[in-house]
Structure 1
Amino acid sequence: MDWETHARRLAADVVRPESRWYEPLATTPRHVFVPRWWARDDQGWELRDGLTDPEAWMQTAYADRTLVTRIGSAHADHADPGATIAMGKPTSSSTLPGLVVTMYRHAMIADDSRVLVTTGTGYGTALLCRRLGDERLTSVDIDPHLVKVAGERLDSIGLHPHTAVVDITGDLPGAYDRIVSTVSVRPVPASWLAALRPGGRLVTTLAGTGLIVTADKTEDGGAVGRVEPDAAGFMRTRHGDDYERPTDELWERVKRADGEHASTSRYPLLYVPDSWEVMSMLELLVPGIDHRMAVDGDERTVWMLHPDGSWARATAAGFLDSPTVHQGGPRRLWDELERIRHRLNREGGLPVYGARVRITPDGTLTLRRGGWSVTVD
């Protein structure tokens, strides 16, 4: 297979030829790290096997897109040929190469940096090995299978970074100049600050948001930085085979229920994850909301569900129609959303992107922009 031609095309799509990331992208065989993956269709998730269609494999593996490799506890490596999954959330993937490079650029990695990264399929680890040399790199994941297989695939192309099975929210196996996490966290683990060398930098995203946080370690053991202007979303850290869904029972109870409070919204229906700014602001203020949506012809319904029992359901017959909203539980989730939309409408933007960041040694993070601030712990 002429994978090199595809890799060079991918590199040209992602960066300019003079970029230090061009050669890593052009010389790393991404298909080695993603021989099988899950593809989404109207019926759920369908297994794709590269060996059964090599040309489609090359086109898919060398596109600047994320490839999902695990749904719930079902890893594509272990699935039966032709397998499908009706429902489930992605729990591991090969992140789109352009975003991997963006995270590395935000880390401002020097030639002599010692770097800790998250493993996933191992492709992002391979890119950094090509850039720095594998002796400067540590790659960790909570999933023993991912670490084992990624290590084998890295070995097969001549790369031998240090790998370890580690819960990245706990103690880390060494000291580093850079920590780059392609899983999202909340809060920033205090162990990252302990593992960063003086002046070291961390790069991550905040769970449930589209916010990339960069922060440099300070003399007091904390860190200061900012929310970068570009958006990104990564899977949350997990501590088992799958993510818990604490709102499933609530959703079944309120799917069609009348709320304690009913109203008509002044704004068109919004499915919150479709708006990076709104989603990020809402998650900072009311963390943990589960957003769901259903479409029936021209009618759309969205749900907001919280583990504390709060919920909202909004239904609109058309895209420009004002939705009817039902709410229940201890908090009015739709009212929280409306306040954010009022601010966006009034000011033309929200203060989340570009906010300054301060992290205390125990991991408490404060975002501040102008007169607005929020603490994330």
Structure 2
Amino acid sequence: MDPHLVKVAGERLDSMGLHPHTAVCDITGPLPGEHDRIVSTVSVRPVPASWLAALRPGGRLVTTIAGTGLILTADKTEDGGAVGRIAPAAAGFMRTRRGDDYDHPTQEVREKAQADGEQVSTSRYPLLYVPDSLEVMSMLELLLPGIDFRTALDGDKRTVWMLHPDGSWTRATADGFLNSPTVHQGGPRRLWDALERIRHRLNREGGLPVYGARVTSTPDGKTTLSHGSWTLTL
């Protein structure tokens, strides 16, 4: 965070009679002191091991998983790890960033996505702009982190792009809201196919296993989500 913003925030809090300790630091690195609560208003993936190290036994960690609408709440265990749940409610914060993270790694992929795809198909579902469905977006981000979503409207014609820094891309276009889109895909992975599998599961089971999932973290920050037979390690 900009040191000037921290200074101004401290002055305003002071004027209201509030005197919290403020600091400028890399929050993914070592944290000073020990704490009963750590509440993060930026999203991370994975959970930094330094946060668990700074929690007292029984202390609680609350954060969001980067790129998702998932709130992770976990209590520190005696072995230095943590256990908890993904909250049933949704929320999201900006990712932790540094240096070149502010670049746009999918810009070149977007240019490639204007051409015909290596695979062309018609979706069985109406066109979905994934960020409009936090549950679907969260599941997709857990499986394929880092997708950049774009959308455009031209009259009744809607287009959605899914772009990944590894060069994978999808362009789906539909006329109106009920017609199935024509889908072009290219690059090393088929992003739309992954999305379709998630939508199949949603239709088949009536929900996805992300909200309410159990959370288990080891002392080194390795975090596993599980719900029934489904499991995924961040």
Give your verdict on TM over 0.5: yes
Which amino acid in the other structure matches residue 243 of structure 1?
Y
- SS state of the match for residue 294, structure 1? strand
The answer on whether the counterparts of 1:215 and 1:357 sit within 8 Å (CA) in structure 2 is yes
User: Which has the bigger relative contact order, CA under 8 A and spacing at least 6?
Assistant: 2
1:202 aligns with 2:76: no
> Retained in 2: the 8 A contact 1:210–1:231?
yes
Letter in 2 for 1:273: P
TM-score of the two chains, using structure 2 as the length reference: 0.97
Match of 1:39 in 2: none
Q: In structure 1, which of residues 278, 283, 286 is the aligned counterpart of residue 144 of structure 2?
A: 286
Q: Which runs of 5+ in 1 are unaligned?
A: 1-141
Q: Does 1:176 align with 2:59?
A: no
* Equivalent residue pairs, number: 234
Equivalent position amino acid for 2:189 in 1:
R
Q: Which residue of 1 is the match for residue 15 of structure 2?
A: 156
What is the alpha-carbon root mean square deviation over aligned residues?
1.1
Q: Residues 186-241 of structure 1: CA distance to partner in whole angstroms, max 9, x if unpaired?
A: 00000000000111000000000000000000111110000010000111111249
Give runs of aligned pairs for residues 1-377 of structure 1, distance below 5 A.
142-240=1-99, 243-254=102-113, 256-376=114-234
Q: Which amino acid aligns with 2:145?
A: P
Equivalent position SS for 1:161: coil
- DSSP-derived class of the 1:267 partner: coil
Q: Give a deviation string over 1:244-289, Cα, whole Å, max 9, x none.
A: 32101211232x2101000000000000000011000000000110
TM-score using structure 1 length: 0.61
SS of equivalent residue, structure 1 residue 226: strand
Q: For residues 241 and 296 of structure 1, do their structure 2 counterparts lie closer, same or farther at Cα, with a shift above 3 Å needed?
A: same
Residues 149-189 of structure 1: CA distance to partner in whole angstroms, max 9, x if unpaired?
A: 11121122222111100111111122100000111110000
Question: Whole-Å Cα distance in 2 between the matches of residues 198 and 371 of structure 1?
Answer: 29
Instruction: Give % identity.
Output: 82
SS where residue 163 of structure 1 aligns? coil
**2:41 aligns to what SS in structure 1?**
coil
Structure having the higher Rg: 1
How far apart, in 2, do the equivalents of 1:344 and 1:243 lie? Answer: 33
Moved over 2 A (4+): 240-244
Q: Secondary structure at the match of 1:182?
A: strand
Q: Per-residue deviation at 1:242?
A: 6.6
Aligned residue for 2:109, secondary structure, equals helix
Bigger share in helix: 1
